[in-house]
């Protein structure tokens, strides 16, 4: 069984190669069926492996099992979290492929296989990153994930915004990847190893952490946090997510960004958690600070958007901030909570993007103001979009609510307030959109550009060749299934226990915690839903009071769309990371 682990990568890659080789010869439905079949096979394989991952296992690619505890090969980790991420990535890829069934404009030069092939390569990269146990190997899959994602983001080359967003995304993430590689170089120089556990042991053997460990930590984390879109590395995310084709957005927001958070968790736990690494209080301070910043800025910016896809992108920034806090506190209960939250969030967020895509293809706009009251006819989509908003707020029994409540109990104190507030504000923004666009509530907002410094959602072109007059069943079925999946995470009895068990088995130093509904958690979930509802209602009925004040303009100005600015922020972010981590290393 262990031997099958590399197939999680090999199957989608082989599928992509076959699609490219035969893509010119076969009609489009065949190519898309093959793509779906390959993604589904990989998902099934990931699930089977996941069910057999207790106890977790290691697989040595190429059969280079260690001799005297040392190997020259690459180690893959088959544990609950890694395989869970691989399964999630595969299932969302399947959803994206199903959603884009017959959907896109003509593929390039009659090549039906190229879009599904790119999605499969993206899937292969994500699976590889999820199961990587070797730091350099993780970098390789990180890059594959990146390259496929850049091409997919810029896929609609006729759109001026799409190519600009894709370039920004590519430059910033690649810079992050090179920082990661610099960090790997430093770690290799110190320990002479590349396997994550082997590096960790090497650092511990060397004794107390010094400047080299700090620099390696900062560089490696910079790479991963750029992917995870922590503030101030987050600027690329709204620009890329707002312009990518909808099926790609589902993957970017649903799982790729979260893989950055997962990478932080994995790398800290294996490489830096020992006595020779970064002490726990420093890690906690760093991640909680950056996570809290991301949650606040993400939520505020989310509230001020009228471009619906951009709004959803900012809510992803806010939620990954919450995930980073949960990972940062280094408690087994928080790890369980985050795992559940992440699963629930993936379903809800992908469903919301899918609904936004329907609006785009039906009305040729994703502008909240321009669409006011126009989508009254789309009853089913309205229900799904609203359910998505409620899920984002953490309405029990959504998986998001369960994960959030478990995490809130683990982090405790003022951070609980942040969890409630950030989820309430982002959900309120979504519900506000639902109220205006699908129900036509409140006065029709002015159509002009308000402050002059914003991206409206008008002037977008549908991703289908013509505006849809009828929504294909696949496009509504996919978000429905995704929302149902998010509900299932919270409802299916015993699911939370299984997730908690498999997470704690590898991380959390083997301490087992339980994850279940608590009265306090349910109340907090209801509270944030109530807050979201009230805020949304007020915003819809009194748009003037809740419009973006001039005070907030500086925050908007930071999001300048200028790639040089974003690079400067990456440098500042790396320095901030270093400054936050430094004190504990000096004291020792």
Partner 1 sequence: MSRRFRLWLVAVGGAGLAALFTAAALDLPAFGGDHHPYGDRAVHASLSRHTANVIASVNFDQRAFDTLGEMTILFAAVIGCGALLRQTRDEHRATPEPQEVARPVRRYALLVLPVALLTGLYVIAHGQLSPGGGFQGGVVAATSLHLLYLGADYRALERVRPVALYETGDAVATSAYVVTGLAALIGGSAFLANTLLPYGTFNTLSSGGTVPLLNAAVGMEVACAVVVLLARFLDQAVEIEEGNGT
Partner 2 sequence: MGVLPYLVAGWVFLTGCYGLATSRNLIHAVGCLSVCQAGTYVLLLAVGYRHDATAPVFSDLKPGSRPVVDPLVQALTLTDVVVGATVTALLLALVVQISKRHGTVDPDELSELRG
Gap between the Cα atoms of 406 and 282, Å rounded: 23
Contacted by 164, from partner 1, partner 2, none: CB < 5 to 8 Å by type: partner 2
Distance CA 153, CA 54 (A): 37
Identify the CA nearest to 539 among candidates 471, 401, 441.
Answer: 441
Q: Tell me which of partner 1, partner 2, none is bound by residue 409, counting a contact when its beta carbon lies within the kind-specific cut-off of 5 to 8 angstroms.
A: none
Please say which residue, 124 or 344, places its beta carbon nearer to partner 1: 124
Spell 57-75 as b/e; 16+ CB within 10 A means b.
bbbbbeeeeeeeeebeebb
* Gap between the Cα atoms of 82 and 87, Å rounded: 9
The answer to whether 24 contacts partner 1 (rule: CB under 8 A) is: yes
129 neighbors 173 (Cβ within 8 angstroms): no
Q: Judged by CB under 8 A, does residue 238 bind partner 1?
A: no
* Residues between 564 and 583 with contacts to partner 1, criterion CB under 8 A: 564-565, 567-575, 578-579
d(C-alpha 409, C-alpha 120), whole Å: 38
State the DSSP code for 551.
Answer: G
Smallest distance from the beta carbon of 349 to partner 1, in angstroms?
Answer: 25
Rounded distance between C-alpha atoms, residue 478 and residue 484, angstroms: 10
Q: Which of 22, 30, 556, 582 binds partner 2 (CB under 8 A)?
A: 556
Told to check if 560 binds partner 2 by CB under 8 A, we report yes
Binds partner 1 (CB under 8 A): choice among 48, 61, 293, 488: 61
Interaction of residue 547 with partner 2, rule CB under 8 A? no
In the complex, the smallest distance separating the C-beta of residue 147 from partner 2, rounded to whole angstroms, is 6
Q: Which of 415, 402, 576 is nearest to 489 (CA)?
A: 402
Work out which of 144, 180, 273, 352 binds partner 1, going by CB under 8 A.
144
Q: By rule CB under 8 A, what string of x and - marks binding of each residue 155-194 to partner 1?
A: x-xx----x----------------------x-xxx-xxx
In the complex with partner 1, the residue whose CB is nearer, 249 or 402, is 249
211 binds, among partner 1, partner 2, none (CB under 5 to 8 A by kind): partner 1
Site string for partner 2, 180-199 (x = CB under 8 A): -xx--xx-xx----x-----
As a whole number of angstroms, the distance between CA 264 and CA 79 comes to: 16
Cα gap 143→146, rounded to integer Å: 5
455 near partner 2, judged by CB under 8 A: yes
CB 203 within 8 A of CB 220: no
Specify the 3-state DSSP secondary structure of 348.
helix
8's enclosing H/E stretch is helix 7-22
Return the H-helix or E-strand segment holding 389.
Answer: helix 379-393
Can residue 520 be called a binding residue for partner 2 (CB under 8 A)?
A: no
d(CA 84, CA 296): 28
Q: Taking CB under 8 A as the criterion, which residues in 293-352 touch partner 2?
A: 304
Q: Rule CB under 8 A: say whether 108 interacts with partner 1.
A: yes
Q: Which of 109, 448, 545, 551 contacts partner 1 by CB under 8 A?
A: 109
Residue 291 interacts with partner 2 (CB under 8 A): yes or no: no
* Residue range at the interface with partner 1 (CB under 8 A); choices 79-87, 143-151, 324-332, 514-522: 143-151
Window of 78-86, 150-158, 272-280, 502-510 that interacts with partner 1 by CB under 8 A: 150-158
Q: Which of residues 369-428 bind partner 1 (CB under 8 A)?
A: none
CB closer to partner 2 out of 160 and 512: 160
**Does 491 help bind partner 1 (rule: CB under 8 A)?**
no
* Spatial contact of 119 and 542, defined as CB atoms under 8 Å apart: no
Give just the sign of the alpha carbon dihedral 513, 519, 523, 525: positive
Instruction: Examine residue 397 and say whether the peptide bond preceding it is cis (omega within 30 degrees of 0).
Output: yes
Q: Are 56 and 505 in contact (CB under 8 A)?
A: yes
Question: Which residues here bind partner 2, judged by CB under 8 A?
Answer: 136, 140, 143, 146-147, 150-151, 154, 157-161, 163-168, 170-171, 174-175, 178, 181-182, 185-186, 188-189, 194, 238-239, 242-243, 304, 451, 453-455, 556-557, 559-565, 567-568, 570-571
């Amino acid at each position: 069984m262990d031997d099958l682990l590399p197939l999680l990568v090999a199957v989608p890659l082989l599928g992509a190669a076959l699609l490219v080789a035969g893509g010119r010869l076969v009609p489009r439905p065949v190519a898309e069926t093959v793509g779906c079949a390959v993604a589904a096979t990989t998902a099934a394989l990931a699930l089977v492996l996941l069910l057999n991952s207790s106890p977790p296992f290691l697989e040595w690619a190429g059969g280079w099992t260690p001799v005297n505890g040392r190997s020259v090969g690459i180690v893959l980790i088959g544990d609950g979290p890694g395989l869970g991420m691989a399964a999630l990535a595969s299932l969302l890829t399947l959803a994206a492929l199903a959603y884009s069934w017959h959907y896109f404009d003509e593929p390039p030069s009659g090549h039906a296989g190229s879009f599904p092939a790119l999605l499969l390569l993206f899937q292969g990269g994500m699976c590889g990153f999820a199961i990587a146990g070797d730091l350099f190997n993780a970098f390789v899959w990180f890059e594959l994930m990146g390259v496929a994602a850049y091409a997919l983001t810029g896929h609609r080359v006729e759109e001026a915004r799409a190519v600009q967003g894709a370039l920004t995304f590519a430059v910033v993430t690649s810079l992050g990847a090179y920082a990661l590689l610099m960090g790997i170089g430093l770690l290799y120089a110190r320990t002479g190893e590349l396997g994550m556990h082997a590096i960790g042991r090497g650092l511990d053997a060397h004794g107390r952490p010094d400047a080299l460990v700090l620099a390696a930590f900062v560089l490696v984390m910079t790479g991963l946090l750029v992917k995870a879109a922590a503030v101030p590395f987050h600027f690329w995310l709204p620009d890329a997510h707002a312009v990518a084709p909808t099926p790609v957005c589902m993957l970017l927001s649903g799982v790729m960004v979260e893989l950055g958070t997962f990478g932080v968790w994995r790398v800290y736990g294996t490489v830096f958690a020992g006595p020779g690494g970064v002490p726990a209080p420093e890690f906690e301070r760093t991640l909680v600070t950056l996570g809290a910043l991301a949650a606040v800025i993400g939520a505020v910016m989310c509230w001020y958007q009228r471009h619906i896809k951009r709004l959803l992108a900012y809510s992803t920034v806010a939620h990954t901030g919450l995930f980073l806090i949960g990972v940062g506190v280094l408690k087994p209960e928080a790890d369980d909570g985050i795992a559940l939250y992440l699963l629930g969030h993936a379903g809800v967020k992908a469903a919301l993007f899918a609904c936004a895509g329907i609006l785009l293809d039906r009305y040729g706009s994703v502008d909240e103001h321009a669409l006011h009251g126009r989508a009254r006819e789309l009853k089913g989509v309205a229900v799904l979009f609203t359910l998505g908003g409620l899920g984002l707020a953490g309405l029990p029994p959504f998986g998001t609510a369960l994960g959030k409540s478990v995490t809130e109990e683990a982090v405790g104190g003022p951070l609980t307030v942040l969890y409630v507030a950030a989820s309430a504000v982002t959900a309120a923004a979504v519900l506000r959109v639902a109220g205006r666009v699908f129900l036509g509530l409140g006065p029709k907002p002015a159509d002009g550009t308000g402050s002059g410094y914003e991206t409206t959602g008008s002037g977008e072109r549908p991703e289908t060749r013509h505006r849809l007059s009828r929504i294909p069943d696949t496009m509504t079925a996919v978000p429905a299934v995704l929302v149902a999946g998010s509900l299932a995470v919270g409802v299916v009895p015993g699911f939370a226990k299984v997730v908690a068990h498999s997470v704690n088995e590898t991380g959390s130093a083997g301490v087992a915690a339980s994850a279940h509904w608590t009265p306090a958690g349910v109340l907090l979930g209801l509270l944030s839903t109530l807050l979201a509802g009230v805020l949304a209602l007020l915003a819809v009925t009194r748009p003037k009071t809740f419009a973006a004040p001039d005070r907030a303009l500086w925050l908007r100005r930071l999001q300048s769309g200028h790639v040089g600015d974003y690079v400067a922020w990456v440098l500042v972010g790396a320095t901030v990371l270093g400054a936050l981590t430094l004190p504990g290393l000096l004291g020792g």
